[in-house]
Amino acid sequence: MFFNNLREEIDATLARDPAARSRLEVALCYPGFHALLYHRLAHFLWERRWRLCGRFLSYIGRMVTGIEIHPGARIGKRLFIDHGMGVVIGETAEIGDDCTLYHGVTLGGRAPRRGEKGQKRHPTLGHGVIIGSGAQVLGPFRVGDGARIGAGSVVLSEVPDGVTMVGPGARAVPRRGQAKGLEPAFEPYGIDPDIPDPIARALNALLDEVTRLKARLAELEKQHLVATGSGNGAGEGEREARLSSQSR
């Protein structure tokens, strides 16, 4: 059983990392795989109330791999932690089957005052969740099956099944190809190198709109001045000066 799970985890790494070439390479060179070995044993001890032993083993795992998994965390099958350095998985976190985490991911609590000892403080991931590098998922909520969290996102509330969340105040975005009814495929490095920042894009659109409105206002004022200027007998030169100062 234990060894079957290990084989499945190695195969999951081979399937999801284009850089992995053989089972031996995964077994020898993948810190995510090593962290899981430490965790399986540490969790076994933790569940049998050998709490300090479990904790100590997880600490050794952290020193060796750079991945900190609390022995109380519940992890499903075929988890793939790519690169791994800086990943933190809290005590009451739960992870479904076939999930993928990149380096720097935190499955954490939001603040000590929001959760007492022994209470659920960390997120629960459904099956097939992908969390991009550096993403922070904080709080005791569910991240639905097949959800994706973009690299660098901060997620503080429930994520429905199949939804992609991106950005520091993470929000839902439609997946590329979803409108065309295409099946979502697993794309291990699914990040576009030329991703335009969605917030910068919104600001640029607003600036364009402000410029357009300013031009329209200047045009209307010009028309108004022409209309009123002819009525009050202002000289041509004076009117021109007023028009050019208004349009500036």
Ligand X SMILES: CC(C)(COP(=O)(O)OP(=O)(O)OC[C@H]1O[C@@H](n2cnc3c(N)ncnc32)[C@H](O)[C@@H]1OP(=O)(O)O)[C@@H](O)C(=O)NCCC(=O)NCCS
Q: Which residues bind ligand X (CB under 6 A)?
A: 83, 102, 130, 132-133, 148, 150-152, 164, 166-167, 173, 175-176, 189-192, 195, 198
Please state the closest distance from residue 4 (CB atom) to ligand X, in A.
28
Tell me if 40 sits within 8 A of 46, measured CB to CB: no
Q: Minimum CB separation from ligand X for residue 171, in Å?
A: 10
Least Cβ distance, residue 69 to ligand X (angstroms): 19
Q: Which residue type is seen at 202?
A: A
Q: Kindly write down the DSSP assignment for every residue of 91-107, as one continuous string.
A: TT-EE-TT-EE-TT-EE
- Least Å distance between CB 43 and ligand X? 26
From first CA to last CA, the distance across the chain in angstroms is 77
What dihedral do alpha carbons 59, 60, 63, 68 form, nearest 10°? -40
Instruction: Decide whether 85 or 226 has the Cβ nearer to ligand X.
Output: 85
Residues 6+ apart with CB under 8 A from 162: 144, 145, 146, 147, 184
Using alpha carbons, select from 74, 82, 78, 77 the residue that is nearest to residue 107. Answer: 74
CB of 67 to ligand X, least distance (A): 15
d(CA 76, CA 101): 13
Q: Tokens 């810190």 map to which residue?
A: 31
182 vs 213 by CB, closer to ligand X: 182
- We find the least distance from the C-beta atom of residue 230 to ligand X, in angstroms, to be 50
Name which of 36 and 149 has its Cβ closer to ligand X. Answer: 149
Which residue's CB is nearer to ligand X, number 30 or number 102? 102
Residue whose structure tokens are 């901060």: 154
Residue 76 or 184: which CB sits closer to ligand X?
184
C-beta atoms surrounding 199 within 10 Å: 11
Residue number with CB closer to ligand X (193 or 237)? 193
